[in-house]
Chains A and B, each alone.
Chain A
Amino acid sequence: MKKGIIHINQLSKRYEDSDFFAVQPLDLTINENEIFGLLGPNGAGKTTLISMLCGLIKPTSGIFEVDQLNYKNNKKQIQNLIGVVPQEYALYPTLTAFENLMYFGSMYGLKSNELKNKIDQSLKELGLENFSNKRIKTFSGGMKRRVNLIAGILHHPKVLFLDEPTVGVDVQSKNVIIEHLKQLNQLGTTIVYTSHHMIEAQDLCTKVAIIDHGKIIAQGTPTELIQSIENSKNLEGVYLNLTGGELRDYA
């Protein structure tokens, strides 16, 4: 029996200037060592949900626990347990890759020598060892995404949250990122990630939840979901079947 590492109970979010819930009260359990994909169209509530779990925004109602710790009373402990890779490049453009990583790594209390070794190792694993001393503003989108990922995993988090980690990158960078995430998962990190790439999610995730209009409308392993929808050949078919084909423009 797998042990739940994230427990969400009736968690919801309604923004102050909005009439509807970005995330409707939902219950969800994410098990230890899973790669959990949150899939859904634009404005479905994926980023809002992940932002609440990272402690970036305040829920309207409900509670959640990470590794049996309540965020309200154990903020610091949870922050030490989790790693976050935001959708935007959360890096200082005028600092080098190494300087950015030294700064963000030190925020987790990692000591200088240990941190330097980790940075060197991670840069090598993600193919950036020759760009360590180059400033971020000179990097391509794919390189920035890889540094963005490293900044979130230097402290070897127990749970890693990623918000669309491969958006806007070339296939090569995407493959390197996905392979690295799989390795991290094998080393014991639970991964929660949002994406629009169904093929990528099908390949990577051990479990997915499809979210639309702030509600989870389906969840299970990719295989279970594909089998649950008649004539669906892949996760994209399931996704389109459940969320519909209409455009999801919102402002």
Chain B
Amino acid sequence: MHKLWEATYKEFLLLKRDFGGLIILFIMPLVLVITITLIQESTSQHIFTSKIPVLVIDNDSNELSKSIISNLEQDKLLKVVREIDGELIDEKMANNLVLQGEYKLAIVIPEGLTENLNSKVSQNVGKILEQFEIDQDAEIGEKNIQAQQIKLYFDPILQTSFRNAIKNGIDNMVSKIETQSVYQVFEEELEIDKNTFESTEFINFVEINPQKNNVEIKPNSVQHNVPAWTLFAIFFIIVPLSINIVKEKNQGTFVRLKTNPISYKTILGGKVIVYLIVCLVQFILMLLVGLYLFPYMGLPNFEINGDYFLLFLVAIFSGLSAIGIGILIGTIAETHEQAAPFGATLVVILAAVGGVWIPVFAMPKIMQLFAKISPMNWGLNCFYDVIIRDNSFLEILPELLLLGIFFVVMIAIAIYYDKEKNRV
């Protein structure tokens, strides 16, 4: 016990005197969580408060295109641009401007869109009315009317999710206009009053937040960001910890320790204790930032629905699993150059697989499988379970156990590796 205490105290002193290391361990994670949350939050705010200029080329210049443009002009996200420096934009110009990234999107409305849509709708309505023998005089053309294409040019660097959102919005708008056209033709053909058919949306979406113990669970972006990036920062301890071990091996002090009556377990024990405390301090700092700094910065409140004690338990077990990886890398790596890039890359991979950036359910099947064996995913789920779902200890126990077992396995491999390598 005395040796473990001395090993712990030594690690504490080494860390305390490494000012650069302390900055990396405590300040960088805070910078990370603040930056990411601010960017994400301000991006979503920006999308809703500022309009994205969209080039619109109207080759139709008719009723339907006017309706599309009018709808686009009313859209909260988009600002219609039809001419630049007094010159009307054509498709070629739009292509170049979007390709160069000066505009994110261009919409080209094809020539004859109104006429063709009206013809098609009239044709379909006429067929229906003929079936009911209502308007036998109506002329049903047999003309083959081609489906019309509204071309969308996207800036190549635009992310797929953003493209899909824009495409869905325009698709929705065009569907509405098409529906209105159908109603209009019916009204004309049946010679009834205009606006007989209600064209307002009949089906609407209402978002209902699930409840637990009669309390509505309504997540916000901070509730997602703080645990995700806190976990990312906790796992980044892999890098300084593995470097610490490699440095000790290369410093000669490890040579002395190998001749001393002290086990590798005790040496590692000191490191585990100190780096676990570092993880907890990191966690507390992140928590304080989420609880007290973010509201001052105009970000949503970091509401914790669950028990704080459970939250600390998750932080401890997540920290242990990160420490386990750091110790294993440090034990196996021979040089600083092996440990540092490998550790850093591994953290990024674990974060990606663990669902820090993209939710696991949205990943391909094979990656979902990897996510299931990723300690960062266990930790993240556990944090969400406590912060958002207000789960109990028993409900998070399986994930805590996985994190704990993972730590034990990592340490056991490191001790076994060291023993085999240094067997005399």
A contacts, CB < 8 Å to B: 52, 54-59, 71-72, 75-76, 79-80, 82, 84, 86, 88-95, 99, 102-104, 106-109, 111, 135, 151-152
Contacts and interface: CB of A to CB of B under 8 A. Distances in A.
Contacts of A76: 261
Contacts of B252: 86, 88-91
Specify the main secondary structure of chain B where it touches its partner: helix
B261 A55 contact: no
28 contacts: A54-B259, A55-B259, A55-B424, A56-B255, A56-B422, A57-B424, A59-B424, A71-B424, A75-B424, A84-B256, A86-B255, A88-B252, A90-B252, A90-B253, A92-B10, A94-B17, A95-B14, A95-B17, A103-B9, A104-B256, A106-B2, A106-B3, A107-B260, A108-B261, A109-B3, A109-B261, A135-B17, A152-B256
- For the complex of A and B, the 10 pairs showing the least CB-CB separation, nearest first, are A88-B252, A90-B256, A90-B252, A106-B6, A79-B261, A84-B259, A107-B260, A94-B17, A107-B262, A103-B10
Interface string B1-23: 01100110110011001100000
Interface string B250-269: 01110111111110000000
A94 B256 CA distance: 17
Given A79-B259, A86-B255, A90-B251, A52 B424 contact: yes
Given A72-B424, A103-B6, A106-B2, A56 B14 contact: no
A107 B3 contact: yes
A87 B18 CA distance: 26
Given A59-B424, A90-B251, A107-B3, A95 B13 contact: yes
Contacts of B424: 52, 55-59, 71-72, 75
A52, A80, A103 pick with most chain B CB within 10 angstroms? A103
B143 interface: no
B373 to A, nearest CB: 34
A56 to B, nearest CB: 6
Q: How large is the interface on B (under 10, 10 to 19, 20 to 34, 35 or more residues)?
A: 20 to 34
Given A92-B253, A94-B13, A109-B3, 16 more contacts: A58-B424, A80-B261, A82-B259, A84-B255, A84-B256, A86-B252, A86-B256, A88-B252, A89-B252, A90-B255, A94-B14, A94-B17, A95-B17, A104-B256, A109-B2, A111-B2
A56, A92, A102 pick with most chain B CB within 10 angstroms? A92
Contacts of A90: 251-253, 255-256
B256 A151 contact: yes
A55, A59, A90 pick with most chain B CB within 10 angstroms? A90
B423 interface: yes
Contacts of B251: 88, 90, 92-93
Nearest to A112: B2
Nearest to A115: B6
Contacts of B14: 92, 94-95
A103 B424 CA distance: 25
A111 B259 CA distance: 19
Contacts of B261: 76, 79-80, 107-109
Interface in B65-104: none
Contacts of B10: 92, 95, 99, 103
Contacts of B423: 58
Nearest to A51: B255
Contacts of A99: 10, 13
Nearest to B6: A106
A82 B258 CA distance: 12
B9, B255, B256, B260 pick with most chain A CB within 10 angstroms? B256
Contact of B6 (A56, A58, A92, A102): A102
A94 B18 contact: yes
Contact of B259 (A56, A59, A102, A109): A56
B260 A104 contact: yes
A55 B258 contact: yes
A58 B420 CA distance: 10
Nearest to A56: B258
Nearest to A102: B6
Contacts of B260: 79, 104, 107-108
A58 to B, nearest CB: 5
B268 to A, nearest CB: 14
B34 to A, nearest CB: 30
A77 to B, nearest CB: 8
B253 A91 contact: yes
Nearest to B260: A107
A6 to B, nearest CB: 15
Contacts of B6: 102-103, 106-107
Nearest to B259: A84
Nearest to B18: A94
A95 B251 CA distance: 13
Nearest to B248: A92
A120 B261 CA distance: 23
B6 to A, nearest CB: 4
Contacts of B257: 107
A89 B252 CA distance: 6
Contacts of B17: 94-95, 135
B318 to A, nearest CB: 29
Contacts of B256: 84, 86, 90, 104, 151-152
A12 to B, nearest CB: 14
A140 B9 CA distance: 26
Contacts of A107: 3, 6, 257, 260-262
B2, B9, B17, B260 pick with most chain A CB within 10 angstroms? B260
A115 B83 CA distance: 86
Nearest to A91: B253
